[in-house]
Amino acid sequence: MDNRSPAIFVGDALGLDFLNSVATPVDTPIDWIENGEGLLCWLEQAGLVPRETLEAMRVQALPGELDKIADQARNLREWFRIFVREHKGRPLTADALGELEPLNRLIERDEGYSRIAPRQAETGEGLELQPMRKWRSPEALLLPIGEALARFVCTEDFSDVRACEGSTCTLLFADHTRGHRRRWCSMAMCGNRAKQAAHRHRRKRSN
Protein backbone atom coordinates (compact mmCIF):
# COMPACT_ATOMS: atom_id res chain seq x y z
CA MET A 1 0.00 0.00 0.00
CA ASP A 2 1.25 3.50 -0.86
CA ASN A 3 -0.21 6.91 -1.48
CA ARG A 4 -1.49 5.75 -4.87
CA SER A 5 -3.78 3.21 -3.19
CA PRO A 6 -7.31 4.40 -2.38
CA ALA A 7 -7.41 6.99 0.39
CA ILE A 8 -9.44 6.48 3.55
CA PHE A 9 -12.92 7.98 3.77
CA VAL A 10 -14.35 6.74 7.07
CA GLY A 11 -14.72 10.11 8.80
CA ASP A 12 -18.34 10.66 7.76
CA ALA A 13 -17.30 14.29 7.32
CA LEU A 14 -14.97 15.59 4.65
CA GLY A 15 -13.14 17.81 7.15
CA LEU A 16 -12.13 14.69 9.07
CA ASP A 17 -11.34 12.70 5.95
CA PHE A 18 -8.83 15.43 5.16
CA LEU A 19 -7.18 14.86 8.56
CA ASN A 20 -7.30 11.11 7.87
CA SER A 21 -5.26 11.60 4.68
CA VAL A 22 -2.26 10.57 6.76
CA ALA A 23 -2.78 7.28 8.54
CA THR A 24 -1.31 3.90 9.38
CA PRO A 25 -3.73 1.36 7.88
CA VAL A 26 -1.38 -1.59 8.50
CA ASP A 27 1.96 -0.80 10.08
CA THR A 28 3.62 1.80 7.88
CA PRO A 29 2.34 5.38 7.95
CA ILE A 30 1.05 6.60 4.59
CA ASP A 31 0.63 10.22 3.68
CA TRP A 32 -1.73 10.44 0.73
CA ILE A 33 -0.75 14.05 0.11
CA GLU A 34 2.99 13.71 0.57
CA ASN A 35 3.55 15.34 -2.84
CA GLY A 36 1.75 17.19 -5.60
CA GLU A 37 0.58 14.08 -7.43
CA GLY A 38 -0.73 12.65 -4.15
CA LEU A 39 -2.68 15.84 -3.53
CA LEU A 40 -4.28 15.67 -6.99
CA CYS A 41 -5.28 12.03 -6.43
CA TRP A 42 -6.72 12.76 -3.00
CA LEU A 43 -8.72 15.75 -4.28
CA GLU A 44 -10.16 13.62 -7.05
CA GLN A 45 -11.14 10.81 -4.65
CA ALA A 46 -12.68 13.35 -2.29
CA GLY A 47 -14.72 14.75 -5.18
CA LEU A 48 -13.52 18.26 -4.39
CA VAL A 49 -12.10 19.22 -7.76
CA PRO A 50 -13.39 18.27 -11.25
CA ARG A 51 -11.21 15.74 -13.02
CA GLU A 52 -10.62 18.04 -16.03
CA THR A 53 -9.34 20.76 -13.71
CA LEU A 54 -6.91 18.34 -12.06
CA GLU A 55 -5.73 17.15 -15.44
CA ALA A 56 -5.14 20.75 -16.57
CA MET A 57 -3.18 21.48 -13.38
CA ARG A 58 -1.06 18.37 -13.93
CA VAL A 59 -0.18 19.47 -17.47
CA GLN A 60 0.33 23.17 -16.82
CA ALA A 61 2.09 23.26 -13.44
CA LEU A 62 5.76 24.20 -13.36
CA PRO A 63 8.17 21.61 -11.95
CA GLY A 64 7.82 21.46 -8.17
CA GLU A 65 4.86 23.82 -8.12
CA LEU A 66 2.32 21.19 -7.11
CA ASP A 67 4.68 19.76 -4.49
CA LYS A 68 4.76 23.20 -2.92
CA ILE A 69 0.95 23.28 -2.77
CA ALA A 70 0.99 19.81 -1.20
CA ASP A 71 3.36 21.21 1.49
CA GLN A 72 0.84 23.94 2.18
CA ALA A 73 -2.01 21.42 2.27
CA ARG A 74 -0.13 19.35 4.87
CA ASN A 75 0.53 22.48 6.95
CA LEU A 76 -3.16 23.33 6.78
CA ARG A 77 -4.01 19.76 7.75
CA GLU A 78 -1.75 19.66 10.80
CA TRP A 79 -2.93 23.10 11.92
CA PHE A 80 -6.54 21.92 11.64
CA ARG A 81 -5.73 18.66 13.46
CA ILE A 82 -4.59 20.63 16.51
CA PHE A 83 -7.82 22.64 16.40
CA VAL A 84 -10.03 19.53 16.14
CA ARG A 85 -8.15 17.67 18.87
CA GLU A 86 -8.53 20.60 21.19
CA HIS A 87 -12.24 21.13 20.57
CA LYS A 88 -13.66 17.67 19.91
CA GLY A 89 -16.12 16.15 22.36
CA ARG A 90 -18.16 19.29 23.05
CA PRO A 91 -20.09 21.79 20.96
CA LEU A 92 -18.03 24.45 19.27
CA THR A 93 -18.83 28.01 20.36
CA ALA A 94 -18.10 31.43 18.91
CA ASP A 95 -15.12 31.62 21.27
CA ALA A 96 -13.23 29.48 18.76
CA LEU A 97 -13.56 32.12 16.07
CA GLY A 98 -10.24 33.75 16.82
CA GLU A 99 -8.41 30.47 16.35
CA LEU A 100 -10.16 29.96 13.02
CA GLU A 101 -8.88 33.23 11.58
CA PRO A 102 -6.27 31.51 9.34
CA LEU A 103 -9.10 29.51 7.76
CA ASN A 104 -11.15 32.66 7.13
CA ARG A 105 -8.08 34.18 5.55
CA LEU A 106 -7.71 31.19 3.22
CA ILE A 107 -11.33 31.05 2.05
CA GLU A 108 -11.58 34.79 1.44
CA ARG A 109 -9.33 34.18 -1.59
CA ASP A 110 -11.98 31.97 -3.15
CA GLU A 111 -13.35 33.11 -6.49
CA GLY A 112 -16.68 31.37 -6.63
CA TYR A 113 -19.47 32.11 -9.07
CA SER A 114 -22.61 30.37 -10.29
CA ARG A 115 -23.49 28.99 -13.69
CA ILE A 116 -26.83 28.01 -15.22
CA ALA A 117 -26.49 24.41 -16.37
CA PRO A 118 -28.64 21.38 -17.22
CA ARG A 119 -30.02 19.77 -14.07
CA GLN A 120 -27.70 16.94 -13.06
CA ALA A 121 -30.07 14.77 -11.05
CA GLU A 122 -31.29 11.91 -13.25
CA THR A 123 -34.94 12.44 -12.50
CA GLY A 124 -35.10 16.18 -12.90
CA GLU A 125 -35.27 18.04 -16.17
CA GLY A 126 -34.62 21.67 -16.83
CA LEU A 127 -31.94 23.88 -15.45
CA GLU A 128 -30.11 24.40 -12.20
CA LEU A 129 -27.68 26.89 -10.77
CA GLN A 130 -24.32 25.20 -10.21
CA PRO A 131 -21.64 26.57 -7.90
CA MET A 132 -18.38 27.06 -9.80
CA ARG A 133 -14.91 28.26 -8.93
CA LYS A 134 -12.16 29.99 -10.89
CA TRP A 135 -8.96 27.92 -10.90
CA ARG A 136 -6.44 30.65 -11.61
CA SER A 137 -3.38 28.94 -10.17
CA PRO A 138 -2.44 25.68 -8.43
CA GLU A 139 -2.90 27.51 -5.11
CA ALA A 140 -6.63 27.48 -5.83
CA LEU A 141 -6.52 23.73 -5.09
CA LEU A 142 -6.42 24.64 -1.39
CA LEU A 143 -9.71 26.53 -1.60
CA PRO A 144 -12.17 23.63 -1.82
CA ILE A 145 -10.31 22.06 1.12
CA GLY A 146 -10.63 25.33 3.04
CA GLU A 147 -14.32 25.45 2.21
CA ALA A 148 -14.81 21.86 3.40
CA LEU A 149 -13.06 22.64 6.70
CA ALA A 150 -15.09 25.83 7.15
CA ARG A 151 -18.32 23.97 6.39
CA PHE A 152 -17.27 21.31 8.87
CA VAL A 153 -16.76 23.75 11.77
CA CYS A 154 -20.05 25.49 10.95
CA THR A 155 -22.27 22.43 10.52
CA GLU A 156 -20.78 19.55 12.51
CA ASP A 157 -21.65 19.00 16.16
CA PHE A 158 -18.18 18.70 17.69
CA SER A 159 -19.70 16.57 20.49
CA ASP A 160 -19.84 13.79 17.88
CA VAL A 161 -16.22 14.09 16.79
CA ARG A 162 -14.23 11.13 18.09
CA ALA A 163 -10.89 9.44 17.73
CA CYS A 164 -10.92 5.73 16.89
CA GLU A 165 -10.31 3.63 20.00
CA GLY A 166 -7.81 1.42 18.18
CA SER A 167 -4.66 1.56 20.29
CA THR A 168 -2.36 2.71 17.51
CA CYS A 169 -5.00 4.23 15.23
CA THR A 170 -5.00 7.96 14.49
CA LEU A 171 -8.24 8.11 12.50
CA LEU A 172 -10.99 10.54 13.42
CA PHE A 173 -14.69 10.33 12.64
CA ALA A 174 -18.00 12.00 13.35
CA ASP A 175 -20.29 9.59 15.14
CA HIS A 176 -23.61 9.96 13.33
CA THR A 177 -24.99 6.61 14.53
CA ARG A 178 -28.35 6.78 16.25
CA GLY A 179 -27.13 5.55 19.63
CA HIS A 180 -23.82 7.45 19.42
CA ARG A 181 -21.87 4.31 20.18
CA ARG A 182 -19.46 4.24 17.26
CA ARG A 183 -16.01 3.31 18.58
CA TRP A 184 -13.99 2.38 15.53
CA CYS A 185 -12.80 3.97 12.32
CA SER A 186 -14.14 0.84 10.66
CA MET A 187 -15.06 -2.68 11.68
CA ALA A 188 -12.73 -4.03 8.99
CA MET A 189 -9.70 -2.22 10.42
CA CYS A 190 -9.79 -1.58 14.18
CA GLY A 191 -13.15 -3.14 15.13
CA ASN A 192 -12.04 -6.64 14.16
CA ARG A 193 -8.63 -6.23 15.68
CA ALA A 194 -10.24 -5.31 19.01
CA LYS A 195 -12.68 -8.21 18.78
CA GLN A 196 -9.84 -10.66 18.17
CA ALA A 197 -7.82 -9.22 21.05
CA ALA A 198 -10.81 -9.55 23.39
CA HIS A 199 -11.30 -13.13 22.21
CA ARG A 200 -7.62 -14.02 22.86
CA HIS A 201 -7.85 -12.39 26.27
CA ARG A 202 -10.96 -14.45 27.19
CA ARG A 203 -9.35 -17.67 25.97
CA LYS A 204 -6.20 -17.03 28.00
CA ARG A 205 -8.27 -16.46 31.13
CA SER A 206 -10.37 -19.60 30.69
CA ASN A 207 -7.28 -21.80 30.12
Least spacing, CB of residue 173 vs Zn ion, in Å? 9
The CB-of-168 to Zn ion minimum distance in angstroms stands at 8
Neighbours of 22 (CB within 10 A): 21
9 C-beta neighbours (distance < 10 Å), count? 15
Report the alpha-carbon distance of residue 184 to residue 78 in Å, rounded: 22
Q: Is 166 in the site for Zn ion (CB under 5 A)?
A: yes
Which residues, numbered 171-190, are part of the site for Zn ion (CB under 5 A)? 171, 185, 190
| Site track 113-152 with Zn ion (rule: CB under 5 A), x = hit | ----------------------------------------
Work out which of 169, 172, 174, 194 binds Zn ion, going by CB under 5 A. Answer: 169
Tell me whether residue 24 or residue 159 sits nearer to Zn ion (CB atom). Answer: 24
**Interaction with Zn ion in 67-96: which residues (CB under 5 A)?**
none
Q: Where are the beta strands (DSSP E) in the chain?
A: 22-23, 30-31, 112-118, 127-133, 161-163, 172-174
Give the up-direction half-sphere exposure of residue 78: CA atoms within 13 A in the CB hemisphere: 9
CA 35 from centre of chain: 16
Q: Which residues bind Zn ion (CB under 5 A)?
A: 164, 166, 169, 171, 185, 190
